[in-house]
Chains A and B, each alone.
Chain A
């Protein structure tokens, strides 16, 4: 297979993934009356699975991130008993704007993205989609839409929790170093800008769409056998990571221009 063919296939995959994502979103919001309760419960189920079930991982990651960042900041040996302007800025930039969303995305890819690909791949291998389609059930509306929307909501929420826990952990760490909570949060909110919060939400939304779309598409796109599922799973994870980083880089560069 030459490069052009690979390039063509890659481009085709991208277009088909975007097409699947848009079809699912449009279907979710325009055909809510068709099997609305089922779709709603599937969405809640996805949020439950990705969000609430993943809280402990996200919580640990958030605490860890807060510990690391605050420890690094304190290691600068800057003035005692205060949070410097530079420390405040680094805290908001690293936790809220940059590492928070990225870490959340990586955790979701490894935990929920793989799960979605495996689930949809196994349904595909079992010919369940053929059965559903033969019964007149729209697979995109009933299977893909709840996963994409649920995943996006879960990623946004988890990103918020991760950042929140990181900041709280940092406050505790600073407090252990004789910086009062009042001083810490004053400095933090002084340096936190609306644009930072907005950008982190934009990143989280993008990550949610990218991870869910790629995971669904890789499991759904063509008939699979059971032996194909692990291979597709690996491919899906790789693509999710690559596209998440590309999107992350794009938004970051755009935000600093």
Chain B
């Protein structure tokens, strides 16, 4: 019995030892024993399609097929059916392989044969994914790694994988769209240059007009004040005549400037180049999208559907968003420019911003609908892509042109309003002149005022038709300008008539002066008294003599 027990002791020890060794060997072969005692990092990723993804699924490095961790938890993120996946990776592997541009894939594995995995890409960047503090400990408890089912992941993958293979048609199209939008939004781009040109054309002439008008008004006010004082004889002389001539010359010059400016605005290359540019952008974008969609259809649709179309459409969506944002910025710039001339454009810009927001939402909704449509049949994909994307981009470009054209129309209106103000000032001036000069002058000035009223009518027509400038363009505007120029041709004749009237008035006043002198002498002879000075008349003769 004693022998047996001693022998049994050894056998039992071997029996238990072998069992323990089997367990340890199993742990080592499964790799779990190393995980058990290794320091780990914890990561999270967001997935959309996770059928079959469950805790315990191994996490591997995609290039090395090396198991480096396990999925710990899979839970709903409550956002658009997104799923948050939490997984742990052994620290040594994470430090060595996971970089800033690492992306995680979910592989369901080959049916029956394969096993589901989370696959991590080895980053190319030098910067580690895990931020460490001074004690070399991770700062964050959970680190986010973008999955290939998110936009960030797609961007990283596109950068990584297409770097060597060259750009695919979708990326090329997106790049072109980006280039176009960048050009549109660039301060040195054609749109901003055009706007700057418009500003250059309008602002100096407007300030010149205002300055001239102010001077004119102040001169006329001065003249009126003198006339009101009754200083008719002193005023209606050579200086007044020259002053009036100068004023009329200035009026003539101002009206000519206005005409030239208006013609520049309407007929010069500004509007034409803006429209051409918008049309060109529209054609470019449409042709690019059409070409891209054709290439998509020519290629294997299923592969494109799975690998490229969905991310590409999201890319297009984002590009459209960027375009919208840039268009919004552009409109705000236009707002800033127009705000210098009139406050009414503020409302326009607000309305435009709201409109762009609405359109952006519509564009986003429509593209989401398109994405849903993509999951349908391949035929639906063709139709949806061709119609939806082209329609959306056309709508976008139409919105751009719709918003810019009224802005330019408003600018034109503003110029016309300025002309209107000047002509009104002219009318008032002439009216006052009419009052001053007398009955003979009244007739001439009346005809002048009638002509100027015609100018006002013509300008009213221009302002009335300004809203339709972009539709009817040059013909109507040129007619109006032609009418204006015809009127202008008659102005010198009117000025000659006015000169004649003024000469007549001068002669009349001289005669009156002579009569008054004779009357003075007669009165002196009759009364034998000294001639009493007539208020407002004494010294006038000397003044005239000085003149």
Contacts and interface: CB of A to CB of B under 8 A. Distances in A.
B29 interface: yes
B12 A194 contact: no
Given A192-B30, A193-B56, A195-B56, A44 B113 contact: no
Contacts of B11: 48, 52
Contacts of A88: 115
Interface string B1-40: 0000100110110011011001100110111100110000
A78 interface: yes
B109 interface: yes
Nearest to A41: B5
A197 B23 contact: yes
Contacts of B23: 160, 197, 201
Nearest to A196: B30
B115 A191 contact: yes
A51 B26 CA distance: 21
B81 interface: no
Contacts of B109: 85
Nearest to B57: A193
Contacts, number: 70
Interface of A is mostly: helix
Nearest to A47: B12
A197 B112 contact: no
Nearest to B7: A48
Contacts of A193: 30, 32, 56
Contacts of A78: 112
Contact of A197 (B5, B27, B114): B27
Contacts of B32: 193-194, 197
A214 B112 CA distance: 44
Contacts of A85: 109, 112-115
A228 interface: no
B96 to A, nearest CB: 23
A27 interface: no
Nearest to B21: A160
B26 A197 contact: yes
A78 B112 CA distance: 9
Contacts of B36: 194
A193 B18 CA distance: 21
Contacts of A180: none
A164 B21 CA distance: 11
Contact of A160 (B22, B29, B35): B22
A194 B30 contact: yes
Which size class do A's interface residues fall under?
A: 20 to 34
A193 B33 CA distance: 11
Given A189-B29, A193-B32, A194-B30, A79 B113 contact: yes
B34 to A, nearest CB: 11
A16 interface: no
Interface in A81-129: 82, 84-86, 88
Contacts of A194: 27, 30, 32, 35-36
Interface string A167-188: 0000000000000000001000
A26 to B, nearest CB: 22
Nearest to A188: B29
Nearest to A195: B56
A82 B113 CA distance: 8
A153 interface: yes
B112 A160 contact: no
A63 interface: no
B9 A44 contact: yes
Interface in B65-108: none
B12 A52 contact: yes
A190 interface: yes
A48 B12 contact: yes
A160 B19 contact: yes
A156 B32 CA distance: 20
A199 to B, nearest CB: 12
Contacts of B15: 47, 51-52, 55, 157
Contacts of B112: 78-79, 84-86
Interface in A36-85: 41, 44-45, 47-48, 51-52, 55, 78-79, 82, 84-85
3 nearest CB pairs, A to B: A194-B32, A157-B19, A160-B19
5 contacts: A44-B9, A51-B12, A79-B113, A189-B31, A192-B26
Given A44-B9, A189-B31, A197-B26, 17 more contacts: A44-B8, A45-B8, A48-B8, A48-B11, A52-B11, A52-B12, A85-B109, A85-B112, A86-B112, A157-B16, A160-B23, A161-B18, A161-B22, A190-B115, A192-B30, A195-B56, A197-B32
